[in-house]
Structure 1
Amino acid sequence: MTSAHHDHHGSDGHAGHSHGVSADADRRWLAIALTLITTFMAAEVVIGILAQSLALISDAAHMLTDAVSIVLALIAMRLAARPARGGFTYGLKRAEILSAQANGLTLLLLGAWLAYEAVRRLIDPPEVEGGLVFGTALAGIVVNIAAAWCISKANRSSLNVEGAYQHILNDLFAFIGTAIAGLIVLLTGFARADAIATLVVVALMFKAGYGLVRESGRIFLEAAPAHLDPDDIGDQLVAHPSVSEVHDLHVWTITSGQPALSAHILVEPVADCHTVRRDLEKILQSDHEITHTTLQVDHTPAEVLEVRTGAAYGDGSHCEAPHGPVHRDEPHAH
Structure 2
Amino acid sequence: MGHGHDHSHGELHGKNLLISILLNVAITASQVIGGILSGSLALLSDALHNFSDVLSLVFSFIAHRLSHRKATHKETFGYKRAEILAAFVNAATLVIVALILIYEAVERFFSPQHIESNLVIWLSVLGIVANGFSVFLLKADADRNLNMKSAYLHLLTDTMASVAVLIGGLLMKFFNWYWVDSVLTLAIAVYLIVVGYGLLKDSTRILMLFTPTHLSIEEIASEVHKIRNIGKLYHMHLWHLNDEELHLEAHLACPENLTISEFNQQAETIEKLLKEKFGINHCTIQPDFNKQCSKEFIVQE
Instruction: Provide the TM-score with structure 1 as the length reference.
Output: 0.82
Question: Is residue 24 from structure 1 mapped to residue 24 from structure 2 by the alignment?
Answer: no
Q: Is the 8 A contact 2:30 2:123 kept in 1?
A: no
Which one of 231, 237, 261 corresponds to residue 244 of structure 1?
Answer: 231
Aligned to 1:193: 180
Aligned to 2:150: 163
Aligned to 1:260: 247
Aligned to 2:283: 293
In the alignment, the residues of structure 2 paired with residue 177 and residue 115 of structure 1 have an alpha-carbon distance, to the nearest angstrom, of: 15
Which one of 125, 128, 135 corresponds to residue 138 of structure 1?
Answer: 125
Question: Is residue 324 from structure 1 mapped to residue 298 from structure 2 by the alignment?
Answer: yes
Question: Is residue 34 from structure 1 mapped to residue 9 from structure 2 by the alignment?
Answer: no
CA displacement, residues 192-239 of structure 1 (integer Å, 9 cap, x when unaligned): 111111111101211222122211211121101222222221222223
Q: Is the 8 A contact 2:142 2:152 kept in 1?
A: no
1:7-156 equivalences under 5 Å are 19=6, 21-152=8-139
Structure 1 runs (4+) greater than 6 angstroms displaced: 320-323
Give how far 1:147 is off. Answer: 1.2
Q: Is the 8 A contact 1:79 1:93 kept in 2?
A: yes
Higher mean alpha-carbon deviation, 228-237 vs 173-182, is at: 228-237
Give how far 1:4 is off. Answer: 5.4
Q: Is the 8 A contact 1:29 1:154 kept in 2?
A: no
Q: Is the 8 A contact 2:211 2:239 kept in 1?
A: yes
Give how far 1:72 is off. Answer: 0.8
Which one of 269, 272, 282 corresponds to residue 272 of structure 2?
Answer: 282
SS in 2 for 1:198: helix
Higher mean alpha-carbon deviation, 112-121 vs 64-73, is at: 64-73
In the alignment, the residues of structure 1 paired with residue 8 and residue 197 of structure 2 have an alpha-carbon distance, to the nearest angstrom, of: 31
Higher mean alpha-carbon deviation, 170-179 vs 111-120, is at: 170-179
Which one of 172, 179, 196 corresponds to residue 209 of structure 1?
Answer: 196
Higher mean alpha-carbon deviation, 266-275 vs 91-100, is at: 266-275
In the alignment, the residues of structure 2 paired with residue 209 and residue 124 of structure 1 have an alpha-carbon distance, to the nearest angstrom, of: 29
Letter in 2 for 1:53: S
Matched residues, percent identical? 31
Q: Is the 8 A contact 1:4 1:291 kept in 2?
A: no
CA displacement, residues 226-284 of structure 1 (integer Å, 9 cap, x when unaligned): 22222221222223232331111110111122111111112332874333222211111
SS in 1 for 2:63: helix
Letter in 1 for 2:153: Q
In the alignment, the residues of structure 1 paired with residue 4 and residue 165 of structure 2 have an alpha-carbon distance, to the nearest angstrom, of: 42
Letter in 2 for 1:261: L
In the alignment, the residues of structure 1 paired with residue 294 and residue 193 of structure 2 have an alpha-carbon distance, to the nearest angstrom, of: 45
Higher mean alpha-carbon deviation, 92-101 vs 230-239, is at: 230-239
Q: From the superposition, tell whether residues 124 and 170 of structure 1 become closer, same or farther in structure 2 (CA, over 3 Å).
A: same
Q: From the superposition, tell whether residues 74 and 321 of structure 1 become closer, same or farther in structure 2 (CA, over 3 Å).
A: same
Aligned-residue RMSD, C-alpha:
2.3
Letter in 2 for 1:275: Q
In the alignment, the residues of structure 2 paired with residue 238 and residue 68 of structure 1 have an alpha-carbon distance, to the nearest angstrom, of: 49
In the alignment, the residues of structure 2 paired with residue 79 and residue 151 of structure 1 have an alpha-carbon distance, to the nearest angstrom, of: 19
In the alignment, the residues of structure 2 paired with residue 4 and residue 246 of structure 1 have an alpha-carbon distance, to the nearest angstrom, of: 29
In the alignment, the residues of structure 2 paired with residue 281 and residue 35 of structure 1 have an alpha-carbon distance, to the nearest angstrom, of: 45
Give how far 1:26 is off. Answer: 1.9
Structure ranking higher in helix proportion:
2
SS in 2 for 1:59: helix
